């Protein structure tokens, strides 16, 4: 029997430490901890890696602290268009939804597609309709909206008019949540969910719903979930690339992930980060921004959470 592990991220490019109160940072760390514990309990009760990934991401989709579900980014038209995907390492089964506007928990819709088997991806109104037919919770657009995202959209629009968009922080622009897990049967899974980036063009699709880019899992190799500038994750097929470096070059999980994030993507000057776990239960979470919301519970049951460079151990 394999000792289970789980790792999550809540997006790279987190705000400067002084931009939020101590209570706000505590809320963010609490949200990470709650998501980790939801996935961990699932694994320890004999649930699959897919079950654990879904459970952890639902918690983050329901939290206003993260850019997914409630609290998601707004596009240039002031609309929430959400993306999510999930992948099962045992058979490379996957499900993804994109440009959805009414699904409370897009990761649940991605899971429903995974279980259905085909198609792998649905987008727009048909994805919303599929979720409704599947009995998933449906909401109005206002459910996703928070004051923080409205303020970020206004700030980015103002900077666009001033020609100062390059000065915008990663926190203003991006944000994603994701989870990876290894279960007691030795199976891997990965999932990712996002509202995209603030002020994104209407209809824009990033890497989060793209299997092999923002989400990838292959038993015996690794599971990966990414966060950052999605266009570059798509071009480099980041999740698949990390798995390929392990499978074909024999690199360790940490070496493969670090190379892709800090070498392949470094020349673009974009924010990027991932969480990943391999078949032996090793965990890595490299990023190239000032910080990344992240956390994991290792094979010994130790819980860790971090926002910036520091990582704190939390007693279970």
Instruction: Give 70-107 as a DSSP string.
Output: TT----TTS---EEEEEEETTTTEEEEEEEESSBS-HH
Read off the pLDDT of residues 114-150 as tens digits, 9 standing for 90 and up: 999 999 999 999 999 999 999 999 999 999 999 989 9
Beta bridge partners of 223: 217, 277
Asked if the model's pLDDT at residue 20 lies above 90, the reply is no
pLDDT at 213: 98
pLDDT at 18: 47
Percent of the chain at pLDDT exceeding 70: 92
CA 33, CA 304: separation in Å to the nearest integer? 8
pLDDT at 313: 78
Asked if the model's pLDDT at residue 287 lies above 70, the reply is yes
What is the pLDDT confidence band of residue 159, given thresholds at 50, 70 and 90? confident
pLDDT at 172: 61
Tokens of 275: 């969480």
CA 311, CA 298: separation in Å to the nearest integer? 14
Asked if the model's pLDDT at residue 155 lies above 70, the reply is yes
Read off the pLDDT of residues 228-267 as tens digits, 9 standing for 90 and up: 999 999 999 999 999 999 999 999 999 999 999 999 998 8
Q: Which of 286, 283, 254 is nearest to 271 (CA)?
A: 286
Mean pLDDT, range 152-177, rounded to an integer: 74
Average pLDDT of the chain to the nearest whole number: 92
Active site residue: 98, 176, 215, 284, which one? 176
CA dist 90 to 144, 199, 296, 308, Å? 33, 37, 22, 33
Asked if the model's pLDDT at residue 161 lies above 90, the reply is no
Tokens of 205: 């699709």
Mean pLDDT, range 199-216, rounded to an integer: 97
Asked if the model's pLDDT at residue 306 lies above 80, the reply is yes
Looking at per-residue confidence, does 245 or 156 come out higher? 245
Residue ranges and CATH numbers for the domains of the chain are 5-314 (3.60.20.30)
What is the pLDDT confidence band of residue 162, given thresholds at 50, 70 and 90? confident
Tokens of 127: 């994805």
Looking at per-residue confidence, does 51 or 148 come out higher? 51
Mean pLDDT, range 46-71, rounded to an integer: 97
Tokens of 255: 């070496």
Asked if the model's pLDDT at residue 297 lies above 50, the reply is yes
Asked if the model's pLDDT at residue 170 lies above 60, the reply is no
Reply yes or no on whether 176 is catalytic: yes
Per DSSP bridges, beta strands 222-228 and 272-278 are antiparallel
pLDDT at 166: 63
CA 190, CA 64: separation in Å to the nearest integer? 22
Neighbour count for residue 301 (Cβ, 10 Å): 12
pTM: predicted TM-score of the whole model, two decimal places? 0.95
Cis omega (within 30 of 0) on the bond before 119? yes
Asked if the model's pLDDT at residue 224 lies above 90, the reply is yes
pLDDT at 124: 98
Read off the pLDDT of residues 68-95 as tens digits, 9 standing for 90 and up: 999 999 999 999 999 999 999 999 999 9
């Amino acid at each position: 029997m394999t000792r289970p592990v789980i790792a999550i991220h809540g997006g790279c490019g987190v705000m400067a430490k002084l931009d939020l109160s101590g209570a706000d940072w505590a809320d963010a760390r609490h949200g990470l901890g709650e998501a980790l514990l939801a996935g961990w309990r699932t694994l320890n009760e004999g649930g699959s890696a897919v079950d654990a990934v879904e459970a952890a991401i639902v918690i983050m989709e329901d939290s206003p602290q993260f850019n997914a579900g409630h609290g998601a980014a707004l596009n240039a038209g002031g609309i929430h268009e959400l993306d999510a995907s999930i992948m099962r390492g045992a058979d490379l089964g996957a499900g993804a939804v994109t440009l959805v506007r009414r699904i409370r928990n897009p990761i649940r819709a991605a899971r429903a597609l995974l279980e259905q088997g085909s198609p792998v991806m649905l987008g727009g109104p048909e994805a919303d309709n599929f979720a409704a037919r599947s009995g998933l919770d449906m909401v109005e657009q206002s459910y996703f909206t928070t004051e923080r995202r409205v303020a970020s959209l206004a700030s980015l629009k103002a900077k666009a008019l001033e020609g100062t968009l390059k000065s915008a922080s990663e926190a203003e622009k991006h944000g994603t949540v994701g989870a990876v897990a290894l279960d007691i049967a030795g199976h891997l899974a990965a999932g990712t969910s996002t509202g995209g980036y603030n002020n994104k063009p209407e209809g824009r699709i990033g890497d989060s719903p793209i299997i092999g880019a923002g989400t990838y899992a292959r038993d015996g190799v690794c599971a990966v979930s990414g966060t950052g500038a999605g266009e570059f994750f798509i071009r480099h097929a980041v999740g698949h690339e990390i798995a390929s470096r392990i499978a074909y070059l024999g690199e360790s999980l940490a070496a493969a992930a670090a190379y892709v994030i800090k070498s392949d993507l470094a020349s673009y000057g974009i924010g990027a980060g991932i969480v990943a776990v391999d078949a032996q239960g090793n965990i890595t979470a490299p990023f190239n921004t000032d910080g990344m919301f992240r956390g994991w519970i290792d094979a010994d049951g130790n819980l860790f959470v971090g926002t910036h460079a520091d990582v704190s151990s939390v007693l279970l």
